[in-house]
């Protein structure tokens, strides 16, 4: 199957998941549905050939879901008290050692320092002045080659300001106090 069909499938899945997370009344189910949307995005990154972004998205999404569950739905979850037994410790040490040994083989395949596989940075250094007319190459990267990234950062900042305004305003707090 070509990549496009998989992408459409994942995209439809994510749209259904985000609508479901808005409509579900139970907050724990809603948070888990948000996690499903994020994992779908991670899969989409993987299909588009960006494994680094997919990894970051995967880890970030799991962390996000854990934080949200702890913050919003902690009363309805029973937490088992952590007790360290001897067999559990041995299993943990064995897993850690095996990850360490495997990572030695994995790290040997990484490109050596200063010799990246992706050659795009050299192209920026060589052609940035002629192509963008900007003397500052960092600016030419963030405002010309990677301008969509900067647009996303601006959106993130805008959302942060909206969030702080919404959380800290007097209106919402007074209403909750009166109830």
Partner 1 sequence: MQNNFPNEGMSVIVKTITRFTVWLIFLYGLYIVIHGHLSPGGGFAGGVIVALSYVHLTLAYGKNFVLDRINKFAMNSLEAIAAILIVLTGIVGLWLVGRFLANFLGIGTLYTLLSAGYIPILNIFICVKVGMGLYLVFYYLASFKPQEG
Residues that bind partner 1 (CB under 8 A): 129, 131-136, 138-140, 142-144, 147-148, 150-151, 153-155, 157-158, 160-161, 164-165, 168-170, 173-174, 176-177
CB 34 to partner 1: min, Å = 25
The residue (of 116 and 129) whose beta carbon lies closer to partner 1 is 129
CB nearer to partner 1: pick between 120 and 138: 138
Q: Which is nearer to partner 1, 91 or 151 (CB)?
A: 151
Q: Which is nearer to partner 1, 51 or 129 (CB)?
A: 129
CB of 124 to partner 1, least distance (A): 14
Q: Which of 8, 67, 18, 68 is nearest to 43 (CA)?
A: 8
> Which CB atom, from 91 or from 160, has the smaller least distance to partner 1?
160
Q: How far is the CB of 131 from partner 1 (least distance, A)?
A: 8
DSSP string, the chain: --HHHHHHHHHHHHHHHHHHHHH-SSHHHHHHHHHHHHHHHHHHHHHTT-HHHHHHHHHHHHHHHHHHHHHHSGGGSPPPPP---HHHHHHHHHHHHHHHHHHHHHHHTSPPTT--S--HHHHHHHHHHHHH--S-HHHHIIIIITHHHHHHHHHHHHHHHHHHHHHH-HHHHHHHHH-
Q: How far is the CB of 163 from partner 1 (least distance, A)?
A: 9
Instruction: Please state the closest distance from residue 158 (CB atom) to partner 1, in A.
Output: 5
């Amino acid at each position: 199957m070509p990549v496009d069909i998989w992408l459409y499938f994942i995209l439809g899945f994510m749209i259904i998941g985000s609508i479901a997370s808005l409509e579900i009344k139970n907050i724990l189910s809603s948070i888990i549905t948000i996690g499903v949307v994020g994992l779908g995005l991670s899969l989409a990154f993987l299909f588009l050939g960006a494994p680094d972004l997919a990894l970051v998205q995967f880890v970030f999404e799991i962390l996000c879901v854990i934080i949200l569950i702890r913050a919003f739905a902690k009363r309805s979850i029973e937490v088992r008290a952590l007790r360290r037994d001897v067999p559990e410790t041995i299993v943990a040490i064995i897993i850690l050692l095996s990850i360490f040994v495997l990572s030695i083989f994995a790290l040997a395949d990484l490109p050596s320092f200063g010799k990246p596989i992706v050659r795009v940075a050299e192209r920026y250094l060589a052609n940035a002045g002629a192509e963008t007319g900007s003397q500052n190459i960092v600016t030419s990267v963030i405002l010309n080659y990677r301008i969509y990234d900067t647009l996303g950062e601006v959106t993130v900042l805008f959302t942060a300001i909206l969030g702080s305004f919404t959380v800290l305003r007097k209106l919402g707090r007074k209403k909750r106090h009166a109830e």
